[in-house]
Chains A and B, each alone.
Chain A
C-alpha cells in the first residue's frame, strides 16, 4: 500500500497569553489511517486539531491539507475545508434545541439543498448506521453520553468527509460504549477509507485501533510511530504514559 500524505503540520506554534502550548509541532498524517494524538491533559492535543478546521489559528507554522496551505484561510475559504474535515466534539455538542434527527439533518439541508422533510428522512437513515434510528425524535439532553456521541458521529459523517477529527471520543463513556465507538472509527477507515485523527488518552483505544500514534509532551512531538514502536520504546516518559504509572520521569 502506497503511503500518501493527507495532512501535514509544520512547525506549529500556538501561545495563549504567556503560555506556549504548542512549540514547534510537526508531523504528517497518511490517507486512510487511524491516527492517534496522545499526551497528558492540557498538553494541547485538542488545541492542535482545532487548527485544522479554523477554530484556532497558529501563531507560526503551516498546515497543509491535500496540497493546500490552509492555516491562513478566512471564514469563507474555510468552508470547503470544513466540509472535507468533519469534527466530533468532546462533549458531542449537539444542538439542544433540535431533535437528534434535525441535528443530523442540518448539514444536509444547508449544503445539499434538501428540504426539511427530505433531510429529516435522510437523517433517520443515517441514524440507522449508528443504531440510533429509534431516537430520531428525541432531544439530545434526554439521552445519555454514549447515545449523544453516536448521534454526533452520524452528524459529522453526513457530508461524506475525507477526514474525521475525534476530540476525546471515549472520555466520559462507559467501557462498552467506548469500545463501540472504537469499532465504529476502525470501520470508517477500513470500509470507507476515511482518515481518522483521534485525540485520546484512553489506553485501550490506543492499543486496539491505532495505525500510528504521535505523543505530544511539553509542546513538542515526543514520539511518532506505530503501536509496536510505542510498546518497545526505551523512552521513560512514553513508557510511563502508556503504562499509566503515577511514578516516573514525566512532569506536568
Chain B
C-alpha cells in the first residue's frame, strides 16, 4: 500500500475503512462457513468417528483448566460480594448474590474465554498447519469433502464441549464459592446453598447461562475454523491465524453476550 501517496488527514478514514472491510470480510466468511456447515446436516454427511475423537481431545483434555478457572472464579465472586455482604450483614444472601452473577454471566463467559484459548486456538493451529502443508488438498484429491470430514466434527465438538464445560464450571464455581464463604466470612456452606435454593434463583438462571454457552460455542467454532482455513503464508501464517482467532472470538463473545443478555432478559 503506497500510504505516502495519501494525504495525511485522510489516512484515518482509510484506516477506518480498511478495518471495517476486514471485519466485514471476516463476518461474511464466517457466515458462509456456517451455511456450508449447516448444509452438511441435510442430509447428514458427517463423519461420526471424527466427532468422538474431537470430543475426547477437546472435552476431556480441557477439564483441568476449566476446573481451576471455575474454582477460582467462584472464590473471586464471593470475595467481591464479601464487602457488600458485610456492609449490610446479609450473610443469608451471599449464596444468591454470588450465584446469580456466576450462573448467568461469569461462569459461561470465563469458560468460553478459556475454551477459546485452549480449544479454539488449538483447532486453528491444527487446521492452519493442515492448510499450509496441503493436507486439505490431499483430502480433496481423495474425493473427501473437507467440510464434512474436518470442519463439521470440530464445530459440533466445540459447541458440545463448551456446553458441557459450562455445566461443569457452574457446579465447581458454586462449590468454590461456598467454601470461600466459609473461610472468609464464616458463612456455613449449607446457608450458602440455601441462599440460592430459597426461591430467588431458579432453573431459568442456569438455562440463561447455558443458552449463552451455546451461542459462544458457535462463535468459537466458526472463528477457529474460519481462521484456520484462511491461513496463508507458511508457518508464521499459522501463528497469525491463531492470534486473529483468539481476538475475534473474544470480541464476538462479548458482543453476542450483550445481545443474548438483552434478548433473554
Contact = CB atoms under 8 A, between A and B. Distances in A.
Direct contact of A and B (CB under 8 A): yes
Contacts of A235: none
A83 interface: yes
A204 to B, nearest CB: 26
A110 interface: yes
A53 B141 contact: yes
Nearest to A86: B141
Contacts of B130: 95-96
Interface in B124-140: 126, 129-130, 133-135, 137-140
Nearest to B53: A97
Contact of A107 (B129, B133, B144): B144
Nearest to B129: A96
B135 A93 contact: yes
B142 A89 contact: no
A106 interface: yes
Contacts of B126: 97
Interface residues of chain B: helix, strand, loop or mixed (majority)? helix
29 contacts: A53-B140, A53-B141, A54-B140, A55-B137, A55-B140, A55-B141, A75-B140, A82-B140, A82-B141, A82-B142, A82-B143, A86-B141, A87-B138, A89-B137, A93-B134, A93-B135, A93-B138, A94-B135, A94-B138, A95-B135, A95-B138, A96-B129, A96-B130, A107-B142, A107-B143, A110-B144, A110-B149, A116-B49, A159-B143
Interface of B: 49, 126, 129-130, 133-135, 137-145, 149
Interface of A: 53-55, 75, 78-80, 82-83, 86-87, 89, 91, 93-97, 106-107, 110-111, 116, 155, 159
Given A89-B137, A110-B142, 10 more contacts: A55-B137, A79-B143, A80-B143, A82-B140, A82-B142, A82-B143, A86-B141, A87-B138, A93-B133, A93-B134
